[in-house]
Structure 1
Amino acid sequence: MEDNMKNSAEEIEREEQTPPAGAEEAAPPEEAAEAEDKKEEKKGWREKLKKEDPREAELKKLQEDYTALNDKYLRLMAEYDNFRKRSQRERDALYPEATAAAVSGFLTVVDNFERALAAECSDPEYKKGTELTYKSLLEALGRLKVEAFGEPGESFDPNCHNAVMHIEDESLEPGTIAEVFQRGYRLGERVIRHAMVKVAN
């Protein structure tokens, strides 16, 4: 049927392009009116043939809907990816802070163990138990990637050490740590507690 409609449209266009016989001579009024009616009828056919097929209109609408939904999906995926990356950055920044805050509460316990081990003890079994407990505490800090610093002989660094005393000692280079009163601890590059030291001038 579509072929018949196409052929009809082509015939109509050919007839319109071909001038009628005797066009040079003036046509009678009845014939002119009839020719005008035929022209209008052909024009109507042409408009009818030019009308869009309902299936094509539906397909076009479906394609537009698909494009709109696909754009919405891509935007949603981009927003989710940005949210995921931002959340990961926040977690990465929060973890060291939370770990440092928790560890700082245990550092006084570590200090007390060190004082206990430095004191005289008449019971070797008690001392051995204290040493094992201290060792397990340091291992727990090591698993959290917390490390101690501040030993005699190290160079003084104001970013890591807190100088509470200065001494004149010719046997030590200026700026060398002579004594450590309290060791410092850090988590990666973050200093949890500065080492309290005595520094040679």
Structure 2
Amino acid sequence: MKKNEKEINNDIKQDNNQSKDEEIVCEEVIDNEETAQKTVGEAAVNQEIDKLKSQLEEKTKQCEEYFNMLQRTAAEFDNYKKRTAKEKGAIYTDAVSDSVASFLPVVDNIERALQASANDADFQSLKDGIELVHRQFKEVMKNLGVEEIKALGEKFDPNLHNAVMHIEDSEFGENVVIEEFQKGYILKDKVIRYSMVKVAN
């Protein structure tokens, strides 16, 4: 049975309407997919942002802890420096006080000798008094650990002796100290004063 022209036109219109409906459905599906993808993408971005925010908070807390630790350490070090300087000053004062206290009996005896010489004491008693003071002085030095540097007859040592004169003399060996002008003193390994000497050859 043949379709007439009107029926054919209706069929074409229906096909066109159906195609349009399919296109609309397709567009809606595509729009829905794009919206879904956007939603998934935004969720992933938001999740990443939240993760970065929590990491930033964590690192900020760590930085604050380190900064507080640094401030405490700096304050402790400053206190340590002040305490050490104070202790060092106290040690120096104690050492000087102890040394002076050791020499006070010597000063007392010198004053007694001066008083005795003012009373027209005889020469021998004055000499005895000076020898007593000298012995006492040497005893104090020994107790402090101070020793005389041996010089006379010793080989010249620039670490202990200060040569102020030099002579050539065949009676003496090479670099021998033959005269001492001023005694030198040493405390442990520290030279307090070098011996002033004359050296031969």
Q: What range is the shorter-chain TM-score in?
A: 0.3 to 0.5
Max Rg structure: 2
TM-score, normalised to structure 2, is 0.44
Give the structure with the higher percent helix. 2
TM-score, normalised to structure 1, is 0.44
